[in-house]
Chains A and B, each alone.
Chain A
């Protein structure tokens, strides 16, 4: 199932803005993650073969890293209302353009108790890599939603 060399060669090589999938996405947070004020630049690194788990890794030496999951895959019914002002700040034409991730908390030695933070999703503008952890005003979204199904 690997792409043929002919297909690869057919791709334009000129001044592309490389949207190729293997590229690690760099995320620029216009506001640091709460609790980590010193770090604003992260990369999203695939953490499993299926591409469902990703590391959100600070590019800074000794910077933090997190596990994040796309909420669409893990929580198909999750439909947060993103504040229009925040979307505009990220350069999103509409909230529908956003990619939304949830930060996982995995207790040491107790993976089944893993939870996802649905109250403060990481909202990414895919085109620009600008991102922000948006704290939703809707308190019905749990900070610790069980991941185990």
Chain B
């Protein structure tokens, strides 16, 4: 692995069109800025790896789960306000009005 030493305000160029700027160094952390073509996506490594792992698990899905999954589908989508996710993404979750899918 190539190792370079850079100071705050300095830049590294990768190929013709990718720049990595050292924005700030404080304690044990460094802030980096990136300039790259749009098609180059930039991720924190651990997040990217988590998404890849989630995708690999997701690809193991089999068709025999469809019937059971349908039970979790909102029955009246068009009517709206049918329910909310129980997960942390749900904000002010309305009551699911006695609807409790059982396994």
Contact = CB atoms under 8 A, between A and B. Distances in A.
Interface residues of A, number: 50
Contact of B81 (A66, A76, A89): A76
Interface in B55-103: 55-63, 65-66, 68-70, 72-74, 77, 80-93, 96, 99, 101, 103
Contacts, number: 153
Contact of A145 (B47, B58, B59, B88): B88
A74 B68 CA distance: 15
Interface string A9-48: 0000000000000000000001101111000000000011
A118 B72 CA distance: 17
Interface in A73-95: 73-78, 85, 88-89
A100 interface: no
B59 A135 contact: no
B62 A111 contact: no
B7 interface: no
A89 B40 CA distance: 11
Contact of A74 (B41, B47, B51, B73): B73
B38 interface: yes
Interface residues of B, number: 47
Contacts of A48: 66, 69-70, 73
B52 A35 contact: yes
A77 to B, nearest CB: 5
Interface of A: 30-31, 33-36, 47-48, 50, 52-53, 64-67, 69, 73-78, 85, 88-89, 103-106, 108, 111-112, 114, 117-120, 133, 135, 139-149
